[in-house]
Structure 1
């Protein structure tokens, strides 16, 4: 019978992982040099780097160019509040919070036309924005609105709209209903690049559709939220009708 032996770098990654999760290695602590670790585990530096790559992919270790490998500090957890389509202000607030925004007009195609319930080719206002906490990306969003419903004027002279973007809230008038679909998946290459995460990292992908009182779709939003930085929270309230009362 042939016994398969796991590659040596997995054993090394397991040992370092245990030291990190048990607290023997503290957040922000610099690991010994790669040469010193390779000597400790009696492996080549190539094998050692494979082990570190595993931990980097798990977001336990980060490599800082010219400085070495460090135990990664746990990111601040932010709550996305389902049903309201916004970030919880208590967890998302921060003096370093900022956003970068790009706007464009695009034609409705495929999924977008279906989400917004508009004819194919209809003009849509697109807002692509990245929310950052200092230099750390928080989340990525693309918001689409029928062109005739897009707010007049730029974002710079509309503080309320800019604040709504920072909270990932619906940008236009308050909707009558919000429908959200949430799934966990691997980041796309574009998302991984923008969010500074490995392509294998998980994101919470939120598809949010907001409608007005007439049932018209006033916004469709596609959000990508890093799984290690976000929790999605949904609260259900029991409604008592007049007969029950």
Structure 2
């Protein structure tokens, strides 16, 4: 059995004080107890407490003032924790498109000790009422976002960051997805799989992301010298995947042999595949954007377009924290990058 040594007592004391500061129990500008008081409290020598203070001083949590004592640094911000709101406008928390957003935001918040509060159509209350009841320090916004909603948010005088690809005239801080990797993935897949008919199953056709997906596919098709067939690009406001795959495979004469499906469509496509007891040889090659390790039916997927660790939730939280700390962020728009990787599929 491998034994792990406990951290030095000075580090343990420093960590205890740090958590008191992060949680807000020790306020910026507050004076710390004397070294002797901490030594008595933790039953250690004064040198141990002095070492703990040195750790905190090096990390900018505390400042020593000659003849006055030791104080919580009044201008420290990097490790301050916040109450962060995540508002899904007119969408439910259960919407599959937000699975990866929740995951990346949860990881990011655990590192910064921020508290995340959710609000959505589930709450059955307006954004204004939610803000007044939950009192977040700042808000991440996604869902159905338009300029009218942004103007409503601005009236609340609360810092916010928009997450998603939207066509907005209002000036906002936002995190968007750079989906250029999808075009590269499509081009590579067409070449490797010798595909001739490329399709999509996607959501609301009026969304900017839907228009961008369509553009990626069209560019890849034209780059490879294939014929562009608009009928193979199936977008619908209420798309669940099942209706889309049924339409493409049962109602069209020309059927796709390579298909990009969105997160909200994946389970419906999988349901159709298993219900019909289809073989992989008779099914289109599938391109899917997700976290590779979390794909429910990896045997259906030939190529995964994966969002890197610096995904929208992490980037959104970082940008919002910058605004809360400094009143601004380094840039107005930042992009989460995608990469792609082929997966092995047994042809049975």
TM-score by length of 2: 0.25
Structure of higher CA gyration radius: 2
Relative to its length, the structure with more strand (as a share) is 1
**Higher helix content, 1 or 2:** 2
**TM-score calculated relative to the size of structure 1:** 0.32
